[in-house]
Amino acid sequence: MAWVPAESAVEELMPRLLPVEPCDLTDSFDPNVPPRTPQEYLRIEAAHCPDVVVAQIDPKKLKRKQSVNVSLSGCQPAPEGYSPTLQWQQQQVAQFSTVRQSVNRHRSHWKSQQLDSNVTMPKSEDEEGWKKFCLGERLYAEGAVGPAASESPGIDYVQIGFPPLLSIVSRMNQATVTSVLEYLSNWFGERDFTPELGRWLYALLACLGKPLLPEAHSLIRQLARRCSEVRLLVDSKDDERVPALNLLICLVSRYFDQRDLADEPS
């Protein structure tokens, strides 16, 4: 077996980006003299570069969840009389598409608008902070039931939750949109559906970029399945939660192309 020099092995595994002739610093090179040609510059730089570079990675900065589990199970079928018509679903998709276009078109304008002094957006990784910000401290503390009407004059958004104003959601990048969608989906996974939750879920879906990243793909499927589970527990088809739940299932299945989750038209 022929002996292969170490440098040749490195060369074979990692081809050079630019061809550089072997460099011998003992010939005519003077380190105190600037290189006279591009070839001389590349030869000097190449001679001082290590053959192998190891990246210094801080494990603490890696995201907690590196794996993405995508369930292929579908939604629970709608009870009789609860499923929306195909025409209704098509209308919702068309309107949602218009909303997304408007958000994208005016994002720069709304992002430049100054927030009110009482609005402090949590950091992207602050799960509990985002739940309180979106749902309000009362609903966050009480769990499944909405907050009672405030006895004090004015609106206390800290207590009832900040609405998904364009000036707020326009400041959220895709990583934050996905994170908050995950936080609220986790909250919804153990609690009932509320109007505050519905408004934020709709707004986050309107800001969610396409094509979907794997983690976003998994999240919206989880959301649609949860909506179908909660819908089974609703006693009356006239309950105000039914159209809201139908809407979220419709957007996930028909706008984001998760057709296996779609409701069969009534």
- If one counts the domains in the chain, the total is 1
* pLDDT-based confidence at residue 138 (cuts at 50, 70, 90): confident
Identify the residue with better confidence: 90 or 72: 90
Is 8 within a domain? no
Structural domain contains residue 252: yes
Per-residue pLDDT of 105-115, as tens digits, reads 998 888 888 88
Asked if pLDDT for residue 12 goes beyond 50, the answer is no
Give a yes or no: residue 186 inside a domain. yes
Share of the chain above pLDDT 70, in %: 71
Residue 3 has pLDDT above 60, yes or no: no
| Domain membership flag for residue 67 | no
What's the confidence (pLDDT) of residue 110? 87
Give the mean model confidence (pLDDT) for residues 144-160.
59
pLDDT in the model for residue 19:
60
The 3-state DSSP class for residue 101 equals helix
Specify burial of residue 103 (Cβ count, 10 A radius: 0-12, 13-18, 19+).
Answer: middle
CATH of residue 213: 1.20.58.1070
Residue 68 within any structural domain of the chain? no
What are the C-alpha distances in Å from 147 to residues 23, 138, 213, 244?
Answer: 74, 5, 34, 19
Within a domain: 171: yes
Q: For residue 9, what pLDDT band results from cuts at 50, 70 and 90?
A: very low
Mean pLDDT of the chain, nearest integer: 81
Helices and strands (DSSP H and E) totals, the chain: 12, 0
Residue 72 lies in a domain: no
Domain that holds residue 232: 86-112+122-140+158-259
Is residue 27 in a domain?
Answer: no
Is the preceding omega at residue 211 within 30 degrees of 0, hence cis?
yes
**Rounded Cα–Cα distance for residues 12 and 54 (Å):** 18
Q: And the tokens for 266? A: 């009534």
